[in-house]
Amino acid sequence: MTRTLFSGGQVYDGTTHRASPGDVVVEDGRIVEVGTDLDGDEVVDCTGGYVSPGFFDCHVHVTLDSPSVLQIVETPFSLQFFAAAANLRATLETGVTTVRDAGGADLGIRTAVERGMVPGPRMQLSIIMLSQTGGHGDDWGVCGADVPFFVPHPGRPSGVVDGPEEVRKRVREIIRAGADVIKVATTGGVLSPHDDPRHPHFRDDEIAVMVAEAAAAGLSVMAHAQGAEGIKAAVRNGVRSIEHGIFLDEEAIELMLAHGAWLVPTLHAPRAVIRAAEAGLPLPASVVAKAHDVAASHVDSVRRAHEAGVRIAMGTDCGVGPHGTNLEELALMADAGLGPVDVLHATTGSAARLLGVEGDRGTLAPGLRADLVVVDGDPDDLTGLRERVRSVHLDGREVHRRPAMP
């Protein structure tokens, strides 16, 4: 079998160790050696750059494109599936080889990627976000109409539920639809115009049922959680990851440490909302005001969580912002106090552990899947990463190479 040698640059292995000069050898889709002075039948030249595990984005929405109510009303139902194909390609080409879709993508989209019908990263699905009536995922408007971001269809049930027994049945339906993780909104949010990100949603008995039903199927729960009380309710009841975590207080951070919960910051998201509004996207004034309001608190919460030792995994909420801009999140994490190695680890090995795939990918070690990215420049430089991705590889096979400069 052909041995492919990634050589001539530095190797970042997906752990908390700094990159160093070295080689990676791939054979039959798997890493077989990591070291120095290795050999191979074919060579991928990494001179002037580094090879890393493929990047993870643990919070995307591949069926969304910077949505507004007007855009949703004017978009044909089936267009979302074609948009997902384009968004998956853009995500893969930026070096992200694994994503967790946080609502919208159904089993058919993942199957299309797995069968090679659509180029894209490996996917985990949440199908739809559970929301209480009047919560972040309830798209009822004051005019009396429902304009959902995610129209229910046979592969994607409604996520609006109330009470433990409704919750129990809906979780089972979402698992039946092909979910790899259950998602819940335990607070209000930014894009929902009539709720408050600080207010807690769902009661403990409802959240506990979600976690129990997920666990019975071998799955975990991720929580859209921005206000401190909703974060604490989620963690207290066994939720594995807190998405956003904008208004963390010290008690919430201590709970996350005690329960081993991850933070997926999505610092990219409120900035994307602000940029979209400035570009003319017709967003409600309340949504734009909330995006501005949360920005400073968001950075401070991530900084304090990191300093305390909370585990962090990279996520962007792309779909709220443009797909293909995923790697902007790395510089934003650095601005929140994470060092370059901490940022890269959050985007590789830590993210793989959150998603439960650390035995398959996310680090560079013999036996693991050869999902790799070659990046120009130094691993300590987290700026302009999108333009610096030289090549992307799935199972050692090149799936994207940056076009040569004219």
CATH of the domain at 181: 3.20.20.140
The domain boundary residue, chosen from 326, 350, 380: 326
pLDDT of the residue at 193 = 76
CATH number at residue 376: 2.30.40.10
Predicted confidence (pLDDT) at residue 118 exceeds the cutoff of 70: yes
Kindly state whether residues 211 and 232 are assigned to the same domain: yes
Token pair in block for residue 178: 């092909």
Average pLDDT, the chain: 95
Does 70 map to a domain?
yes
| Per-residue model confidence (pLDDT) at position 274 | 86
- Please list, in sequence order, all residues whose beta carbon lies within 8 angstroms of the beta carbon of residue 202, skipping any fewer than 6 positions away: 130, 132, 135, 167, 184, 185, 186, 233
* Within-domain flag for 338: no
The domain tally of the chain equals 2
The answer on pLDDT for 405 being more than 70 is no
Question: How confident is residue 406, by pLDDT bands cut at 50, 70 and 90?
Answer: low
Flag whether 211 is in a domain: yes
- Helix, coil or strand: residue 302: helix
Is 118 found in the same domain as 221?
A: yes
For 319-346, the pLDDT digits (tens) are 999 999 999 999 999 999 999 999 999 9
pLDDT over threshold 80, residue 113: yes
Percent of the chain with pLDDT over 70: 100
Residue 389 lies in a domain: yes
Amino acid at the residue 123: M
Residue 313 lies in a domain: yes
Task: Check whether residue 34 and residue 64 sit in a common domain.
Answer: no
- Domain co-membership, 221 together with 98: yes
Share of the chain above pLDDT 90, in %: 84
- The lowest-confidence range among 1-10, 145-154, 169-178 is 145-154
The mean pLDDT value for 257-262 works out to: 98
> Same domain for 22 and 77?
no
316 and 373 together in one domain: no
Mean pLDDT of 158-170: 98
Task: Encode pLDDT of 367-397 as tens digits.
Answer: 999 999 999 999 999 999 999 999 999 999 9
Residues 98, 226, single domain; the answer is: yes
Query: Closest by alpha carbon to 264, among 206, 350, 373?
Result: 350
For residue 91, what are the domain limits?
Answer: 55-326
The answer to whether position 341 is within a domain reads no
Q: What pLDDT does 195 receive?
A: 83
pLDDT at 147: 79
Burial class (CB in 10 A: 0-12, 13-18, 19+), 122: buried
Residues 105 and 161 in one domain: yes
Same domain? For 75 and 40 the reply is: no
What pLDDT does 396 receive?
97
The whole-number average pLDDT for the span 63-72 is: 82
In three-state secondary structure terms, 229 is helix
CB 30 within 8 A of CB 368: yes
344 domain residue, yes or no: no
**Is 353 domain-assigned?**
no
- For 286-303, the pLDDT digits (tens) are 888 878 888 889 999 999
pLDDT over 80 at 70, yes or no: no
